[in-house]
């Protein structure tokens, strides 16, 4: 499986299969689809691979897995996140290891308040023309 053939929807199904009883929300971010647990980012599937949130304490352990590298977003390192390259995603055990590390870390985080429709509304622009 390489970056040209990586299918994001199939990858999301495989990630969900690792944790079938966990309720996850989807949100488009980082050029892919992010799975959220209680409002906290768990991972993000994209054509580049799977970005996984493992936490700073587990990052070194995660980087020892094959085909896992530090995650850099917009040119700077993202502490606590790693990227599983498409080559590593062809192996279910590497995918499952990364996802389970993320689930362990993110499930210990307090839930984020979900925005309501009222807080999501954009303010109306007021014209200051005379």
Taking only the tens place, the pLDDT of each residue in 77-119 is 899 999 999 998 988 998 999 999 999 999 999 998 766 555 5
The structure's pTM equals 0.80
The yes-or-no verdict on residue 2 having pLDDT over 60 is no
Q: Domain for residue 88, yes or no?
A: yes
For residue 105, being part of any structural domain is answered with yes
| pLDDT value for 72 | 86
Domain containing residue 78: 8-111
Instruction: Say which residue, 2 or 122, is predicted with more confidence.
Output: 122
Helix (H) or strand (E) holding 27: strand 25-29
In contact, 50 and 7? CB cutoff 8 Å: no
Please report, for the domain that includes residue 100, its CATH number. Answer: 3.30.1460.30
Number of folded domains that form the chain: 1
Could you tell me if residue 46 is inside a domain? yes
Yes or no: say if 81 and 49 are a contact pair by the CB < 8 Å rule: no
Residue partners of 47: CB distance under 8 A and separation at least 6: 3, 4, 6, 8, 31, 32
- On whether residue 45 sits in a domain, the answer given is yes
Task: Write down the number of H helices and E strands in the chain.
Answer: 5, 6
Identify whether 44 is part of a domain.
yes
Instruction: Tell me, yes or no, whether 128 lies in a domain.
Output: no
């Amino acid at each position: 499986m390489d970056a040209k053939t990586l299918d994001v929807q199939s990858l999301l199904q495989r990630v969900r299969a690792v944790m079938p009883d966990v309720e996850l929300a989807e949100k488009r971010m980082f050029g892919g689809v992010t799975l959220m647990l209680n409002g906290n980012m768990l991972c993000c599937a994209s054509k580049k691979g799977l970005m996984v949130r493992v936490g700073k304490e587990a990052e070194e352990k995660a980087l020892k897995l094959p085909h896992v590298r530090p995650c850099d977003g917009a040119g700077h390192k993202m502490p606590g996140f790693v990227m599983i390259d498409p080559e590593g995603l062809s192996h279910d055990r590497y995918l499952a290891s990364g996802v389970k590390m993320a689930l362990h870390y993110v499930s210990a985080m307090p839930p984020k308040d979900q925005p309501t429709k009222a807080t999501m509304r954009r303010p109306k622009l007021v014209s200051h023309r005379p």
